[in-house]
Amino acid sequence: MSEHPALALTRALIERASVTPEDGQCQAIIGERLARIGFRIEPMAFGEGPERVQNLWARRGTGAPLLCFAGHTDVVPTGPLEQWHSDPFVPTIRDGRLYGRGAADMKSSLAAMVVACEEFVARRPDHGGSIAFLLTSDEEGVAVNGTVRVCDVLRARGEALDFCVVGEPTAVNAVGDMIKNGRRGSMSGRLTVRGVQGHIAYPHLARNPIHLVAPALAELARTEWDRGNTYFQPTSWQVSNIHGGTGATNIIPGTVVIDFNFRFSPESTIDGLKQRVHALLDAHGLDYELAWSVSGKPFMTPRGALVDALAASVRAVTGIETELSTSGGTSDGRFIADICREVAELGPVNASIHKIDEHIALDAIPALKDIYLGVLERLLGS
């Protein structure tokens, strides 16, 4: 019995050790397959030296609507190799699963998308609208020379997307049980609070910045920033790191540095959150500096043509009534949403992503292919 073509392509991609920002020639493999069925292949590389990132824009057709499949060919590092039960870059099948780095995040999605397009074009060579692929090798890294740069190019030449399916692993228990129709925004802050360094036995001659900032941190932690809405959880604020002290046990530190992050809903704004934090810190009388960085704005696609097509395709293939969610981390959908009116994410079960022995169930790969094929049929098949 021959191997399913989407499984074969997934294995070929996993064999490429494309640890971010490396692509490992994955995009060349995909581009060659797409070129055979009439896609115009446009590699785009940005950055210099070790920060250089390979991207791919491929398009078939010139008409509207334009349905884009998006994703990333880079993967996270493997972690301790001795803890893997098989080489992470040797795709291995055991117990009904395919193991390897990128099996779930997200080389199986990419393979399923490619094979779905091959079948769709063979069936409908004169299909309506256009199909595109937007691939990057910078999603798992700093994400500055990847999808965001390609979107800048597309925007500059007026090449807008109508629909985009991102192949991120969104499922909880089975393929299709959850669609991400939006994501929260992400904003980080680095707070430096200054005190006065001194001997720990003479606290009256020093000012401990950790003690000074502690009440403000407690107030930030219990603050209700908003209550979310129908689609979004309430905005959350979390400390990720605290750096203070010299390493000695008898010195009161002169400064403390706190890293924190907001995951915010559209009910809050970037400027509004900043203003509230500064007002709270000022009220506590702190001597501080605060540097901000925004890695993504919130976006959301309500029920419409794309979400309905995905949900109907999931139902037809799996029998599942899918759930819409905006939970979880950020994705490159945050960049694509600036040039695309409807963006949604659907991919494999995410339980093993970024972990030792990352895997995907073998039967999930053809199911993914059939779901993507169903979306093509529903949006471009008429």
Residues assigned a catalytic role: 74, 139
Contact 85, 149 (CB under 8 A): no
Residue at token pair 């109907």: 312
Q: What is the 3-state secondary structure (H, E, C) of the chain?
A: CCCCHHHHHHHHHHCCCCECCCCCCHHHHHHHHHHHCCCEEEEEEECCHHHCEEEEEEEECCCCCEEEEEEECCECCCCCHHHCCCCCCCCEEECCEEECCCCCCCHHHHHHHHHHHHHHHHHCCCCCCEEEEEEECCCCCCCCCCHHHHHHHHHHCCCCEEEEEECCCCECCCCCCEEECEECEEEEEEEEEECECEECCCHHHCECHHHHHHHHHHHHHHCCCCCCCCCCCCCEEEEEEEEECCCCCCEECCEEEEEEEEEECCCCCHHHHHHHHHHHHHHCCCCEEEEEEEEECCEECCCCHHHHHHHHHHHHHHCCCCEEECCCCCCCHHHHCCCEEEEEECCCECCCCCCCCCEEECCHHHHHHHHHHHHHHHHHCC
Residue 295 has φ and ψ, to the nearest 5°, of -100, -10
